[in-house]
Structure 1
Amino acid sequence: MNETSISPCGATQPFRTLVTGANGFTGRYLVEKLLGRGHTVIEAVSGHDEPETPTRMRLDITSPAQCRRVLETVRPDYIVHLAAISFVGHSDPLDFYRVNVIGTLNLLEACTAIGHVPRKLLIASSANVYGNVSSAAIDESCPLTPVNHYAASKAAMETMVRTWFDRLPILIVRPFNYTGRGQAPNFLVPKIVSHFARREPSIELGNIDIARDFSDVRYVASAYEALLDSGAAAETVNVCTGTPYTLRDILATASDLTGHELEVQINPAFVRQTDVKTLAGSPAKLRSLVPAVESIPFVDTLRWMLAA
């Protein structure tokens, strides 16, 4: 990526990149990658107790006034919008829509309100919008059939965002499942890894035959960074590897890596009727846009997580 822009006086200066949800799981890896490429990264984080600095600002994405304040202060070259309620089992369904839909709208309207057009605005959606699709490799043309509030909020957000394609240079990314060090333990892979790391005798899970296209968070961050620098806009792009793994596969691989056996106890309370059975994406479009970004074999991801 060309890491500098030309100021009005002709001097070069680092690109200013605003990342919402910067203190979240994905945000931490993306911020590190952007800093490594010479960007000045301004982290927008939620939480009233967060101290503000020149590169860290508090932002309640559901507040139009706060969105305008942050954008007016930063006037970023690039915006990466990661802030979202992302845990499918989150207790309040309305939060999905307040944050994921209205919050995103607030950010876009703030750009217009202050008359600012960034070079690129990358907005994270989710492959959950596809729902139970029978295709072996879901591409971006597949219909959206969300089956839970998280997925429905992301699908609604995408529909709203597309109405802005003629006003702002927006790229929507649909990441499939991904994991890595630092992901919250209420997500499945960290839960499995922690049980093996502690050499627990057993683990309670739901349906271990659901299959997901698991990526490494470092690969996802690399894809986002590369897509910012690509010519793509007014488009939607899957971020995935194309290779699905069942939880049964992951348990077996973790057992091979650790030499430890876990007894799996199926807890009916963990089996959600709205769970998507198989979710595997086609990375063809992603590879055509950013061919230099290489995925990380999932066994290497598990090895990295187990070594933490």
Structure 2
Amino acid sequence: MSKRVFVTGLSGFTGRYLRDALVADGLEVHGIGQGAGEGVRHCDLNDTDSLTRIIDAVRPDYVVHLAAIAYVAHDDPLEFYRVNVLGTESLLKAIVAAGVSPTKVLLASSANVYGNAEQLPITEDVPPAPTNHYANSKLAMEMICRNWFAKLPMLIARPFNYTGYGQAENFLVPKIVKHFASGVSAIRLGNIDVSRDISDVLYLVEAYRRLLVGSAVSETVNICGGRAYSVAEILDAMRDISGRDIHVEVDPALVRGAEVIRLYGSPAKLRRLVGDIPAPDLRDILARMYDRYTGATH
């Protein structure tokens, strides 16, 4: 029989790509999510009793926890903690209460926990310095997870920014690509003087797949490409890809307080754990997204 994977957030952007990668690897995928999809059940993360029953029915060999409030500018701070922190505690309780013994529990945290780190590229031993509720909630989630290391074989992933076709437009990269694809003449952005380590979602899910079946536990590992791209570089690449220009308007309402200016990490530990993962450069990522949105070919 094929191994079973239980994924929270299975119907989300990352969950859909991860499901495809795991199924292609011969794994049977189940999970919970807010949307529709094969193997997706609806369950509030904080409903521990219902979650326990679902996990007991699935009896997973692996668990991947993706479900979270992931948009940094989400307008309800309390939701970050209810979902990202208490929801994670509820999941871990449900796994134990269901009496399953997964080979690995992979939990998605965030590189946002590092804040404005002075050391670049950021390695896993850089002290966290979160600057917003999202990052604070993810760091609190990590602290809770460490309390469970003795009970469950767990691994904490800290993904840096990643993107791909189907990501919500309130995230920077798909917003920019969709504006160019739609033919509008202007785009409103927040702080354009920032740069981020941006990977392809396919790179991310391949890292998750390898970490899931690998031997590492009780570890924290960055998921990143090791290079920062500025907003200006993204815009220039899209001008080249689309063959057209767009006027950028800086909207003060979109400028975040305590903005992290430059964020990129070291993938050295990831490579030690899972080997080298081929990664497209930013222009290739943007071109594929643009082609999907427009139906164009290059």
TM-score (norm: length of structure 2): 0.95
Amino acid at match of 2:84: N
Deviations 1:63-86 (A, max 9, x none): 111221111111100001100000
Deviation of the 1:181 alpha carbon? 0.1
Query: Is residue 288 from structure 1 mapped to residue 276 from structure 2 by the alignment?
Result: no
Q: Which runs of 4+ in 1 moved over 3 A?
A: none
Deviation of the 1:43 alpha carbon? 2.6
Aligned to 1:270: 254
Aligned to 1:73: 57
Q: Structure 1: how far apart are the matches of 2:215 and 2:82?
A: 31
Q: Structure 2: how far apart are the matches of 1:261 and 1:177?
A: 25
Gaps of 5+ in 2: 293-298
RMSD (CA atoms): 1.2
Gaps of 5+ in 1: 1-12
Query: Is residue 161 from structure 1 mapped to residue 149 from structure 2 by the alignment?
Result: no
Aligned to 1:9: none
Deviation of the 1:56 alpha carbon? 2.8
Q: Structure 1: how far apart are the matches of 2:75 and 2:253?
A: 15
Query: Is residue 25 from structure 1 mapped to residue 13 from structure 2 by the alignment?
Result: yes
Q: Structure 2: how far apart are the matches of 1:242 and 1:124?
A: 19
Query: Is residue 234 from structure 1 mapped to residue 222 from structure 2 by the alignment?
Result: no
Structure 2 residue aligned with 1:306, among 280, 283, 290?
290
Aligned to 1:256: 240
Q: Structure 2: how far apart are the matches of 1:59 and 1:275?
A: 33
Q: Structure 1: how far apart are the matches of 2:136 and 2:78?
A: 11
* Residue pair 1:85, 1:100 contacting (<8 A) in 2 also: yes
Structure 1 residue aligned with 2:95, among 99, 102, 111?
111
Aligned to 2:158: 174
Q: Structure 2: how far apart are the matches of 1:227 and 1:193?
A: 30
TM-score (norm: length of structure 1): 0.92
Structure 1 residue aligned with 2:4, among 16, 24, 27?
16
Query: Is residue 62 from structure 1 mapped to residue 46 from structure 2 by the alignment?
Result: yes
The residue correspondences of 1:71-110 to structure 2 (distance < 5 A) are: 71-110=55-94
Aligned to 1:131: 115
Query: Is residue 205 from structure 1 mapped to residue 189 from structure 2 by the alignment?
Result: yes
Q: Structure 2: how far apart are the matches of 1:191 and 1:292?
A: 30
Q: Structure 2: how far apart are the matches of 1:227 and 1:174?
A: 12
